[in-house]
Amino acid sequence: MPPGSVKVREQKIVGTSVPRADGRDKVCGRVRYADDLWQPGMLFAALATSPHAHARIISIDTTGARTVRGVRGVFTGADFPGRIGIYLGDKTPLAVGKVRYFGEPVAAVVADSEAAAVEAAGRIAVSYQPLPALLSVLEAIAEDSPLLHENMDDYFHIPEIHPEPGSNIANRTKVRKGNVELGFREAASVIEGEFSFPPGDHGAMEPRVSIAEIGADGRVVIRSSTQAPFVVRELLSGPFGIPIGKIKVIAPRVGGGFGGKDGLQLEALAYLLSRGVGGRPVRVANSREQDLVSSPGRAGLFARVKLGARSDGKLTAAKMLLLYDSGAYADYAVHVSRAGGFSLPGPYFVPNIEADSLCVYTNRPFATAFRGFGHIEMTYAVERALDHLAQKLEMDPRQLRIVNAIRAGDTTGGNAVMDRNTGNLPACIDTVGRRLDWQDGTRIVLPNGRIRAKGISAFWKAPSMPTFTDAGAIITFNEDASVNLSTGIVEIGQGTHTGLAQIVAQRLAVDPSMVHVVNDIATDQAPHDWQTAASRSLFMAGRAAIAAVDDAVAQIKQIASGPLRCSEEDLEVSGGRVFQRDDPDHGLPLSQVVVHYVYPNGNAIGGPVIGRGKYAARGLTGIDKETGAGRPGLEWTMGSQGVEVEVDPRDGSYRILKAVCCMDVGKVINPALARGQIVGGMAMSIGYATSEEFRFDERGRVLNGSLRDYKLMRYGDHPEYVVDFVETPQGDGPYGARGLGEQGILGIPGALSAALSLAVGSQIDTLPLTPEAVWRAASGGSLR
Amino acid sequence: MRTYEGNVTMVLQVNGEEREVVVRPADTLLRVIREKIGLRGTKIGCENGDCGACTVHINGVAAKSCMVLAVEVEGDEITTIEGMTNEVLKEAFIAEGGFQCGYCTSGFLMNAAALLSAEPKPDGITDDELRVRLESNLCRCTGYEGIERAVKRAARGG
Amino acid sequence: MESRFGRKPEVIHFDVVYYRPESVAEAVAAFEEARERGLDPLYLAGGTEITTFSRQGKIRPGALIDLKKIPECNLLDTRGEELVLGAALPLNRVIEAGVFPLLSQTAACIADYTTRNRLSLGGNIAGRLPYREAVLPFLACDARFVFAGPNGTRTVDCEEAFAEHLRAQAGEFLLQILVENRYLTSPFFHRRRERGGRIDYPLVTLVLLRTGREIRCAVSGLCSAPRRIGEIEALLSDRTRPAGERAAAAIDAFPVAIRSDFRASADYRRHLFGLALDEGLHALEEW
């Protein structure tokens, strides 16, 4: 028996914490991110941005800027009047006619040096006529509200979203199921509440950057900090009339995405500026302040929720209004509001639902995709409402969630039946409860006057993506039979390249070190892939990679069957060899087969083995405009989270002692990386639950647009993280796996609000939960 | 007294090498390291002293290179991630999941390396000490869990 | 305001002339030369604020005079009855020297550790931010400030040297700060409160120092500039009244408008100040 072969075959690769493939380069500072890829002859761009949240542009004088030495071009909105947008074409790369948010790019300078560009941008004189700024979604949806986008009628939009011209509503997604009036009549208890939080930012450590150049033949090359190289290509091709095959987008590894590098970011402006200076390479790079304010962030929320339940806690009806504060432009937020709508009412079975989920324009910095994609908002509203209901029912909030947890056979808000792949939510909730010692009490007053309190929540999320989302994989072999895996998945820190290498290694029964994943994605080399978003990369590219291995194995068997003089059916590929199943000694090392096989007399057969794999989402549909009915979610990953806090009610200060998560992920491919994703999501949600928010003055100007003032969680404020998994296999997932990259962010804010509310004896329904907010609740509410 | 005006040629000691560079006196050390010397492992995160992604050593002491002018450190020993030799620390970051996207990693490593080299800690480092040092840097991916484990592991010797 | 609401560029885009004097006389001469050339010079020590403010466009100095190589600016020594602290000392050197525990504790809360490796004592005090907490211990112990300038050095009482901001005259820079030894061991209390995480500007920083029967009080974060609150010190020192009562009375008698901004409301700042005062007065009772 060939050494290693059987051993490798039995070896579990999937399910183990294989070290990250990119580890060594990252700890040596050797990874090249987009801003490390400066090109010869590159010029530098700098932007002039709006000091107003809403104003008419009267005039722009660029003469001062043009006198600065080294300036090669000065551009304003008039130079690039075309509107772009992924789902709703509502935005020009530079403002035309008016500015709609503080920090909106108004003009751009291209110069030989960054210093010259910045100096020149500072000399652009823009004359504004300030307009009243709409700063709240409630104001914005009022009947007589001024319009931010008067010409919404003219805007292109995809059929899946439903803008309402003549209003500030960029999308309305409706969910209608059963009969809510009847449902509320059946209810023993009904609660109503309003829940909200302000907009915020991704805060990826790498600010966005794009470098564009145009060849003499019109070929456009863009190097960019992007999660979505194929989407960038598509969104540039149409509006600017460039044949899609003549656009090459290169996505090196990304310094954190979290949704902020989905879709089209700085790439369009970089392309236009390069075009404006004759195709020379132009770098557009955000300063941190621009990355926070000028580029899009996370939507804000206002929600109104009414829930009814029987006395045993069973929900009978839900009526909800979700208002997503999209800021000045819709970008991804139209779809974010749609996803929040179709995932209502969260991972619970509710027979009667009437809900509207709206994407609303305001004069705030605009919103795009953000880890959780609409579910952060939806989950916060639902989980807070459930806690209000539990209080009214005098029921254990953990039990209330278990009673209502969605199970196989139940229907979603969109009336889709949950299949046998449905995760085990009650087990997750139960585990979180045990990890928090729930049974020992949820509110304990300590001798020093501080209060320990616990809160729990549940969540779910499926990928929010087009029904036709695809992934491809190509494997080729090197002379030593090591494998090159090429996919369209960008490594943004999530570790998917390592997970994919594990899947290939498992399927081919070789050591993971024999699998090399192509790191930097180029759209003219990688197989097509939708984008690295929606927690679907490992699922879909994993399926494609398995198919690619199977394709390669079939080719290997076919080639080897000649020299081994046996039928392909008798052959097996494992441990770096192809051999006869019933006589493993009779075989060949793959290195003799995968490039070509050479007979002793010099004759050759075969040629390079190229494994092809592909996958397209299965069985997805759109949703009905009037009822939300449909099956938009590929696979629902659900789970539960909880926290324990220690609060000082005298001043509202608190510490999160423990943050717990249990998620049904189907199958854990790499435990360390999976835990890392979940812990990272929890940390990010602790950030926006406790501290992160944009603050505005009365005119809509952002007051805290730097990392000095916009506070991300730092080392030492992190709690003890507890992460558990439940593995109810996803039948169609690779090795049974479901996506898990986003879900860790969803449940903490609700759980934290619950714990702090319990501690101070007053419901807190607004984020962020600053000590001041907790102190106010403690002094305002009646302490139990 | 030295005076620098306009574009000036000066020598910086970087990772044990003498590097002759032409700088403007207003150029920060961060920009000179990346753009003039070509060492791109030191990262731009905020250029405001908030994130620590640009942390280097100046004479063995951690500093945020976005808040230092290159002309200020003439004659000082500069060490960047490319010249940092604490292999135990690097391996600990890999073993303990001290990073995901890797963008903050150079800065965290330089910060932790200064801590570990300055004070050998046979009994490990206290949580308070670790906090005081590591709260200088931001990481958006890990929730700090892996970083904590990694630095503690390195402090124990790997 | 332009910078706060305007562009935030990526680099320091304007040119400066950089001087690195090695003596006080050279520094003063450099400043004079730059001023005559119309360069709008600034003295620089740690540079943390000058570099970041310059990038943001909040300041636009045409010349920088680096004080780090001047020996007198780096002094950390006891001379007779006084501790001498050079203004260019990085905060971490002052903190780790540990000669003035109140100062160590106060300075250890400024910025973050890595930044404090460069951020200087004088730079913090002379800066433009409203916080400048390093000055609080000096305000509380009537330190004396030594300025160097075209007319030589002058030593000035704290009250005159720092009122809302450092009162340096044209061409002068802060050379040293002198603290009487007897204050180094005085009982003190320091409490700093932030909006959330520790690495942030303070909502309130309270410094109390007891000397004999007298309790002195200085605050930062609470109002537009760091200051000694002499107006309430008699109240605080009146040990015929219980600590809690004194704290409450002191808040009522607080003489300056309390700051309200995006970090916190004036109400909350006042509340935190009250808690800190109460705690501090109790702590000083038990010292």
**Percentage of the residues of chain A whose pLDDT score is greater than 90:** 97
pLDDT at A160 over 70: yes
| Residues 6+ away with beta carbon under 8 Å from C38 | C62
pLDDT at A173: 98
Chain B CB within 8 Å of residue C105 CB: no
pLDDT at B119 over 70: no
pLDDT at A606: 95
**Percentage of the residues of chain A whose pLDDT score is greater than 70:** 98
What is the DSSP code string of C137-181?
HHHHTT-EEEEEETTEEEEEEHHHHEESEE-PPTT-EEEEEEEEH
Q: C-alpha distances in angstroms, A510 versus A223, A503, A547, B113, C51?
A: 34, 10, 16, 36, 53
pLDDT at C4 over 50: no
As for how many domains chain C has, the answer is: 3
In sign, the C-alpha dihedral spanning A521, A522, A523, A527 is negative
pLDDT at B158: 86
Q: C-alpha distances in angstroms, A493 versus A321, A350, A680?
A: 35, 37, 11
Q: Report the first-to-last Cα separation within chain C, whole angstroms.
A: 45
Same domain (yes/no): C173, C195: no
Same domain (yes/no): C173, C89: yes
Q: Which residue in A22, A24, A25, A27 has the most chain B C-beta atoms within 10 A of its own C-beta, making it the best mutation to test that interface?
A: A27
Reported as a single tens digit per residue, the pLDDT across A515-565 is 999 999 999 999 999 999 989 999 999 999 999 999 999 999 999 999 999
pLDDT at A7 over 60: no
Q: Report the first-to-last Cα separation within chain B, whole angstroms.
A: 47
Chain B CB within 8 Å of residue A712 CB: yes
Report the residue from B1, B61, B133 with minimal CB separation from C26. Answer: B1
Chain B CB within 8 Å of residue A714 CB: yes
Q: Which residue in B101, B106, B145, B152 has the most chain A C-beta atoms within 10 A of its own C-beta, making it the best mutation to test that interface?
A: B101
Residue pair A342/A623 in contact (Cβ under 8 Å)? The answer is: yes
Chains that touch B (3 or more CB pairs under 8 A): A, C
In sign, the C-alpha dihedral spanning C100, C105, C109, C115 is positive
B82 vs A contacts (CB less than 8 Å) = 28-30
Same domain (yes/no): C75, C123: yes
| Residues 6+ away with beta carbon under 8 Å from C79 | none
**What is the Cα–Cα distance from A274 to A79, expressed in whole angstroms?**
13
* Residue linked to tokens 């104003």: A55
Cβ-Cβ pairs closer than 8 A, A with C, add up to 80
Q: Which helix (H) or strand (E) holds C219?
A: strand C214-220
C18: domain CATH number is 3.30.43.10
Cross-strand partners of C218: C207, C228
**What is the Cα–Cα distance from A199 to A299, expressed in whole angstroms?**
5
Cross-strand partners of A723: A661
| Nearest CA among A455, A402, A404, A409 for reference residue A428 | A402
State the average pLDDT over residues B105-111.
98
Same domain (yes/no): C256, C274: yes
B48 vs A contacts (CB less than 8 Å) = 288, 706-708
Please, which pLDDT band fits residue C11 given cuts at 50, 70 and 90?
Answer: confident
Say what the alpha-carbon torsion angle C100, C104, C110, C116 is, to the nearest 10 degrees: 100
Report the residue from A22, A202, A207 with minimal CB separation from B102. Answer: A22
Reported as a single tens digit per residue, the pLDDT across A633-647 is 999 999 999 999 999
A29 vs B contacts (CB less than 8 Å) = 39-42, 80-82, 105-106
Same domain (yes/no): C113, C59: no
C150: domain CATH number is 3.30.465.10
Q: How many CB atoms lie within 10 A of CB C76?
A: 16
Same domain (yes/no): C113, C30: no
Same domain (yes/no): C204, C263: yes
Same domain (yes/no): C92, C22: no
Amino acid at A188: A
What is the DSSP code string of chain B?
-EEE-SSEEEEEEETTEEEEEEE-TT-BHHHIIIIIS--TTS--S-SSSSS-TTEEEETTEEEEGGGSBGGGGTTSEEE-GGG---HHHHHHHHHTT--SS-TTHHHHHHHHHHHHHHS--TT---HHHHHHHHTTS--SSSTTHHHHHHHHHHHTT-
Same domain (yes/no): C274, C222: yes
State the average pLDDT over residues B65-71.
98
Which pair of structure tokens corresponds to residue C38?
A: 């119309």
State the average pLDDT over residues C1-7.
42
**What is the Cα–Cα distance from A359 to A321, expressed in whole angstroms?**
11
Domain boundary among C66, C81, C106: C66
Residue pair A462/A635 in contact (Cβ under 8 Å)? The answer is: yes
Residue pair C81/C181 in contact (Cβ under 8 Å)? The answer is: yes
Query: Rounded to an integer, what is the distance from CA C6 to the centroid of its chain?
Result: 28
Chain B CB within 8 Å of residue C117 CB: yes
Chain C CB within 8 Å of residue B61 CB: yes
SS3 B71: helix
Domain with C211 in it: 188-286
SS3 A625: coil
- Interface predicted TM-score (ipTM): 0.98
| Nearest CA among A427, A317, A322, A304 for reference residue A374 | A322
**What is the Cα–Cα distance from C173 to C169, expressed in whole angstroms?**
8
Reported as a single tens digit per residue, the pLDDT across A20-37 is 999 999 999 999 999 999
Report the residue from A254, A714, A718 with minimal CB separation from B138. Answer: A714
Reported as a single tens digit per residue, the pLDDT across A85-139 is 999 999 999 999 999 999 999 999 999 999 999 999 999 999 999 999 999 999 9
pLDDT at A728: 97
Please, which pLDDT band fits residue A2 given cuts at 50, 70 and 90?
Answer: very low
**What is the Cα–Cα distance from C44 to C173, expressed in whole angstroms?**
10
Residue pair A488/A229 in contact (Cβ under 8 Å)? The answer is: yes
Domain boundary among C66, C97, C115: C66
C112 vs B contacts (CB less than 8 Å) = 52, 135-136
Cross-strand partners of A285: A209
**What is the Cα–Cα distance from A372 to B134, expressed in whole angstroms?**
28
Cα nearest neighbour of C262 on chain A:
A695
Q: Which helix (H) or strand (E) holds A551?
A: helix A537-564
C192: domain CATH number is 3.30.390.50
**What is the Cα–Cα distance from C63 to B3, expressed in whole angstroms?**
10
Same domain (yes/no): C34, C129: no
Cross-strand partners of C284: none
CA angle C251, C253, C254 (to 5 degrees): 65
pLDDT at C287: 79
pLDDT at B120: 60
Query: Rounded to an integer, what is the distance from CA A234 to the centroid of its chain?
Result: 19
pLDDT at C149: 97
**What is the Cα–Cα distance from A191 to A257, expressed in whole angstroms?**
38
**What is the Cα–Cα distance from A147 to A144, expressed in whole angstroms?**
9
Please, which pLDDT band fits residue C7 given cuts at 50, 70 and 90?
Answer: low
pLDDT at C123 over 90: yes
Domain boundary among C143, C162, C183: C183
Same domain (yes/no): C107, C40: no
Residues belonging to chain A? 784
Cα nearest neighbour of A203 on chain B:
B140
* Residue linked to tokens 């899009």: A296
Amino acid at B42: T
Same domain (yes/no): C103, C62: no
Q: Report the first-to-last Cα separation within chain A, whole angstroms.
A: 73
| Nearest CA among C190, C198, C50, C47 for reference residue C112 | C198
pLDDT at C10: 73
Chain B CB within 8 Å of residue C11 CB: yes
Amino acid at A732: D
Q: Helix, strand, coil % (nearest 5) of chain C?
A: 35, 25, 40
Reported as a single tens digit per residue, the pLDDT across B9-66 is 999 999 999 999 999 999 999 999 999 999 999 999 999 999 999 999 999 999 999 9
A695 vs C contacts (CB less than 8 Å) = 262
C7 vs A contacts (CB less than 8 Å) = 47-49, 118, 121-122
